[in-house]
Amino acid sequence: MTINKIIKFRIILFLLLFMSVCFFFHKAIVPSGKIVYVNNFEKENYFLGKLSPGERVAMGDKKIENIIIANPVYFNLYTPRAFDKAVLKYRYKNICKIPLIETGALVDKNAWRYDLKPVENRLIDQLSLVWNEIREGDEILLVRPETLGGEAGTSYSNIKDFISNPPSFNQVAAYNYNLNLNYFLEDYHPSEFATQDIPALRGAYQFFVYLKNENLDLNFIFYDLNKNKDSDDFDIRLYFNNELIDFKHIEDDGNISDNGEFSRENNFHVYLANLPEGAYKIEVKANNDIITKTIKSAHKKMAFIHKLELFNSGNQDIKLYTDSNLIQATTIFPESLQTVKINENNLDINETYKQFEISTGNQGTSSEILLQKDGLILSGDGVFAFNPFSLINPKIKKADYNLDVNKAGINYIIAKYKTPQKIGEWSMAEVEIDLAQAYRENNKNSFIISAPALKQKDKKKLYFDLIEIELNGRSLRDKINNLWN
Amino acid sequence: MRIIAKELFYVSGLAFLIYFVMEIFWPGIVLSYVNINWVLILWLITAILIILLKSNKKNGNK
């Protein structure tokens, strides 16, 4: 071999090495700000993880588990850099006619909250065939046919009309739509005495209070269990019409170990004057080490939203009231196993770490829940209160499979929803997700596929053929321009 | 043959080192496309070849 040939050979080899390094750098930096990851369930994908947990998925005709048999399932997306937006594309087969499929990214790890977006909502799909439909892009307004020209001549020609001149609160259901309708209680008078005495709650929770010619006045008593490592800081947030209007941050007790030494009790007074009439949402954003020993307040209306965990402190015979149609209960404490009485029905909680549920058939009515003891996590699609007269639900009814539009007297449904495209027996859905708000750890985003009606015991299945994620973020040029500006 | 093995030895060694460093900074960025083990195997084979061919050459000279 002549020296010339050796040099040529060396140049070719180093050129190949250089090109491969450039290729990997390109994949790592994504200079265009756009990249697509595909999981077709034929080959393991490093970036787009498998559906998990294993017991909720099954093997189909692919090489990797692609059938969902129980709800919910998760998958991770590893990206070498951060992106602002993701467009998820699912090709799936819903032969069991599962009424609601949603997906989303994890936004709050402490509260284990995923920001859910619609994949398929069969209630809206079916109603759009029989009700009058106004569709403007992704926005849909469904109007019950007999309502047209009915109530005070409210026939809407477009969605803007509907927003500017909405019907009464009780007639409207919404899905994936931020609709602010004024919620006022007629014949409401503030109470002069302390009417609320909430038992010990664990971790995060949210509740509504109603104010009219009164000041927001809440007395919390908190303490820290110190059972988990890390600092146990927490926040109390106040919202009005979905907007944050006040915020308090409470520092950890100084003990960041997991020695289980309870901190001393801390009183925390939330007081705000001159607030306009309406329903306010208070959110306590805390981890499971934080116990709210009690909340004392004089507010007549006070209802906990969707979920509350009653701390295992030995309380017995606790009565709650809810407007939820579907109630779920779980316990992690063997001593809290019990039979929960809901109206005339019994719900046996006879296993720890297992979720039990019951349908109350509530559509605008309320149910009484009688707990033998605390230590339960209660959740539902409505609100929970400790007094029957405290129930208040200023949330617009959610238009999903739990809603009986006839029983609930719903005449209008407004939604932001794209009906999945049908290709034979396969459906193709496209969902846009804001990744800028999503929780990211070790370069990974966690996603959920939620189909609440999919239960293992029902032997229903949801087949997936393809998951494609198109990511969009700032390009290298934008980043360089930002550095200069 | 020995020259080819030598050239491949240097390039595969350098490639392994670069890929290894890239994997530290961006886990999976190389492994998801190329199995680095094959690069390491190529490096080892070329190293063995160089040694074998060198000893053959010495024996031939004797």
Mutation pick from A13, A44, A47 vs chain B, by most beta carbons of B within 10 Å, is A13
How close does chain A come to B57, measured CA to CA in Å?
16
Give B-chain residues touching A80 at CB under 8 angstroms.
26, 28-29
Contact A412, A324 (CB under 8 A): no
**Span A83-95, pLDDT tens digits:** 999 999 999 999 9
Give B-chain residues touching A10 at CB under 8 angstroms.
7, 11
**Span B1-34, pLDDT tens digits:** 778 888 999 999 999 999 999 988 888 889 888 8
Contact A172, A142 (CB under 8 A): no
Q: How confident is the model at residue A99 (pLDDT cuts 50, 70, 90)?
A: very high
Averaged pLDDT for residues A20-38: 91
How close does chain A come to B28, measured CA to CA in Å?
7
How close does chain B come to A24, measured CA to CA in Å?
6
CATH topology for A34-121+418-477? Answer: Jelly Rolls (2.60.120)
Cross-chain Cβ contact A20/B15 below 8 Å: yes
Averaged pLDDT for residues A343-357: 90
Cross-chain Cβ contact B8/A13 below 8 Å: yes
CB pairs under 8 A between A and B: 47
Q: CA dist A370 to A88, A301, A306, A362, Å?
A: 43, 20, 17, 17
Closest CA to A120 of A452, A458, A455: A452
**Span A278-328, pLDDT tens digits:** 999 999 999 889 999 999 888 989 999 999 999 998 888 999 999 888 899
Closest residue in B to A43 (Cα) is: B32
Given this model, what pLDDT does residue A469 score?
A: 96
Give A-chain residues touching B28 at CB under 8 angstroms.
46-47, 78, 80
Domain chopping of chain A, boundaries: 34-121+418-477, 196-395
| Bigger pLDDT: A258 vs A64 | A64
The neighbour count for residue A443, using CB atoms within 10 Å, is 15
- ipTM, two decimals: 0.88
Of B3, B11, B26, the CB nearest to A28: B26
**CA-CA distance, A6 to A136, in Å (whole number)?**
67
Place of tokens 């930002």: A482
- Contact of B59 with chain A, judged by CB distance below 8 Å, is answered with no
Given this model, what pLDDT does residue B61 score?
A: 59
Cross-chain Cβ contact A6/B22 below 8 Å: no
Given this model, what pLDDT does residue A152 score?
A: 43
Q: Which residues of A17-32 are buried (b: 16+ CB within 10 A; e: fewer)?
A: beebbeebeebbbbee
Given this model, what pLDDT does residue A153 score?
A: 43
- Contact of B39 with chain A, judged by CB distance below 8 Å, is answered with no
Mutation pick from A12, A17, A26, A443 vs chain B, by most beta carbons of B within 10 Å, is A17
